[in-house]
Structure 1
Amino acid sequence: MSASHSSTTDHEHDDAEFGDSGSDGTRFDDGEGHLDPGARSGGPWFMDEVKLGIFLVVSSVIGFLASFELSIDKVRLLENPSATLSCDFNPFFSCGSVMAFEQSQIFGFPNQFLGIAAFIFPLLLGVLLITRTRVPGWVLVGLNLGLLAGTVLVMYLYYSSIFVIGIGCPWCIVVWTVTIPLFCVVTGYNVIAGNLGAGLRDNGVVRAIAGTALIIAVLWLILVYASIVFRFWVFFGSLVG
């Protein structure tokens, strides 16, 4: 066996070992064995599917627990309308007060029940990725679509709670805090992996933006938090003063 052939074989073995292919089996290269930028350690951290899986699991567990606590509080409120809930902090931040409005039951049942179900899917996918189970690209696209719907709902509830109802729901804010990064990071992964099409994957500007997915999520959340502080400055100003 020639040295060049041995080197080629070793290179292919290394590619297989490091998993330089997308979750749908598509390789992150240019078709000639040259790895596409971002496929390995030089790319965003979330292109490592184990790290992405850990992120999905941690975020989903936080969102699930927040939704579960909200569900418990909702049941308590149904049993005793005058009950004081675990997140009834003051007139500005009170889950119980928000639950009294129709926005808390958009689909005819408590929104928090939807949250419990919604976080199970990314949690299971995260476990699969951590165990290095091959997940088809279309499944991650499905997750992306679900997170898109969840983010739209979250932003509607954010606007309704803060600017229409005028009361913040602490546990709801926790759900918003994990849903937005989940959406941004999964979208970034799918763009760079080519799951959303070769056109987006091969566009340098789009790839660069996708690589900053978590930064975008952080900036997004900062705007959300800043608007909450501004909206309830009477409360926050009293803390500062």
Structure 2
Amino acid sequence: MNTTDTLPDDDIDVASQTRPWVLRPTSLGVFLIVASVVGYLASFALAVEKYEKLEDPNAVLSCDLNPFFSCGSVMESPESQLFGFPNQLLGIGAFIFPLLLGVLLLARTRIPRWIMVGLNIGLALGTVLVMFLFYVSIYKIGVGCPWCMVVWTMTIPMFVAVTSHNVLAGNFGARIARNPMARVLAKENVAIFVLWLLVIAACIVVQFWNFFSTLF
């Protein structure tokens, strides 16, 4: 098992096609690029509308869809600036790193395992943050932020995919790589993040049932 680099040698490219998609440089690279770009654009849109709201507190934003789903309402809460500046600036900066690594993977550049582990740590912190903001937005403020939800649905799958990659590639150590339970969970990464997002969606539907019941 390759424990120093995350990419297979060129002479085993054919064999790598039978590996889980998170171990294939091309598929993982494309996934990171697409998810990062979508997350970046959502964060950028939030930043633009945040400044629009600061200029005109009465402005109706493009993501102010109804009383249940409104970015403007969420932006007015203290949690929208957890670190003393708009949270969306974190997304604008944070999504650059996985985007860069996605490009390097696509270019078949050898990436040291410590960089992939570093990406994993960053995504773990990002996932903790988005889950906290999910709870605050849905259960405390009582309003869903559409652009925030896009960021959530990009961050969580990236975290699961990169974690699965590092488990299977041995980047967390041989003991974890050989652990049967860890390997099974890592190989079922798609099912895990789909289930995770479905649970979030179900929580939103239940919490805002008064809105969703009008759609039937």
TM norm. shorter chain > 0.5? yes
Structure with higher Rg: it is 1
**Which amino acid is the alignment partner of residue 176 of structure 1?**
W
Deviation, structure 1 residue 97: 0.5
Match of residue 5 from structure 2: 24
Q: Given the alignment of the two structures, is residue 205 of structure 1 paired with residue 181 of structure 2, yes or no? A: yes
Q: Pick from 66, 71, 74 the counterpart of residue 47 of structure 2.
A: 71
Structure 1 segments, 4+ long, off by >2 Å, are 20-23, 25-28, 39-43
Q: Given the alignment of the two structures, is residue 58 of structure 1 paired with residue 34 of structure 2, yes or no? A: yes
Deviation, structure 1 residue 213: 1.1
Q: 3-state SS of the aligned residue for 2:16?
A: coil
Q: Distance in 2 between matches of 1:128 and 1:23?
A: 16
Structure 1 residues 9-20: aligned runs within 5 Å: none
Structure 1 residues 85-104: aligned runs within 5 Å: 85-104=61-80
Provide, for residues 112-133 of structure 1, a one-character-per-residue CA deviation record: whole Å limited to 9, x for no partner: 0111000000000000000001
Q: Pick from 173, 186, 190 the counterpart of residue 214 of structure 1.
A: 190
Q: How many residues get paired?
A: 212
Q: Given the alignment of the two structures, is residue 230 of structure 1 paired with residue 211 of structure 2, yes or no? A: no
Q: Given the alignment of the two structures, is residue 44 of structure 1 paired with residue 25 of structure 2, yes or no? A: no
Closer/same/farther in 2, CA of residues 22 and 55 from structure 1, 3 Å limit: farther
Higher relative contact order (CA 8 A, sep 6+): 2
**Which amino acid is the alignment partner of residue 174 of structure 2?**
A
CA contact (8 A) 2:7 2:109 kept: no
CA contact (8 A) 1:151 1:180 kept: yes
Over the residues paired in the alignment, what is the CA RMSD in angstroms?
Answer: 1.8
Match of residue 160 from structure 1: 136
User: Which TM-score applies when normalising by structure 1?
Assistant: 0.84
Bigger shift: residues 87-96 or 209-218: 209-218
Q: Given the alignment of the two structures, is residue 193 of structure 1 paired with residue 153 of structure 2, yes or no? A: no
User: Which TM-score applies when normalising by structure 2?
Assistant: 0.94
Closer/same/farther in 2, CA of residues 25 and 236 from structure 1, 3 Å limit: closer
**Which amino acid is the alignment partner of residue 72 of structure 1?**
V
**Which amino acid is the alignment partner of residue 199 of structure 1?**
R
Q: Pick from 152, 172, 176 the counterpart of residue 176 of structure 1.
A: 152
Q: 3-state SS of the aligned residue for 2:172?
A: coil
Closer/same/farther in 2, CA of residues 93 and 23 from structure 1, 3 Å limit: farther
Deviation, structure 1 residue 46: 1.5
Closer/same/farther in 2, CA of residues 53 and 214 from structure 1, 3 Å limit: same
Match of residue 91 from structure 2: 115
Closer/same/farther in 2, CA of residues 149 and 155 from structure 1, 3 Å limit: same
Deviation, structure 1 residue 21: 4.2
> Which consecutive residues of structure 1, in runs of 5 or more, have no partner in the other structure?
1-19, 29-34
Provide, for residues 42-66 of structure 1, a one-character-per-residue CA deviation record: whole Å limited to 9, x for no partner: 3311210111000000000000000
CA contact (8 A) 1:192 1:201 kept: yes
CA contact (8 A) 1:24 1:138 kept: no
**Which amino acid is the alignment partner of residue 45 of structure 1?**
W
